[in-house]
Amino acid sequence: MFDLDKFSMKEHDIEEDAFNRVSAFISGFPARGKRKLKDLIQRGGGAVFDSLTPSITHMIVARQSLENNEDLAFWRSMTSGRPLGMSSISF
């Protein structure tokens, strides 16, 4: 399991294209955790958006908010244009 609180950007080199073609939406994290994830994805060439739309390819959800996450419920109710991947991460 990935632990966001223990992750340090300085300790990891991110290849410029590690997240190439990734359009992510991040949900359920405190501001600090969301910033860390956003920085990581952007350093790797990806993009992070503030709204869940059909153009999103990946949704990253805090494991602690899986049960009552409104964004996740909306994603599940979408009939088309669902994100291609979903990950849950602990913080």
Range of the domain at 47: 4-89
CATH number at 29 reads 3.40.50.10190
pLDDT of the residue at 75:
77
Number of domains in the chain: 1
pTM for the structure as a whole? 0.73
pLDDT at 9 exceeding the cut of 80: no
pLDDT of the residue at 58:
87
Secondary structure E strands in 21-80: 23-27, 47-49, 58-62
Calculate mean pLDDT across residues 69-77.
81
Which of the 8 DSSP states describes residue 12?
Answer: -
Model confidence band, residue 74 (pLDDT cutoffs 50, 70, 90): confident
pLDDT at 62 exceeding the cut of 50: yes
* Residues 6+ away with beta carbon under 8 Å from 6: none
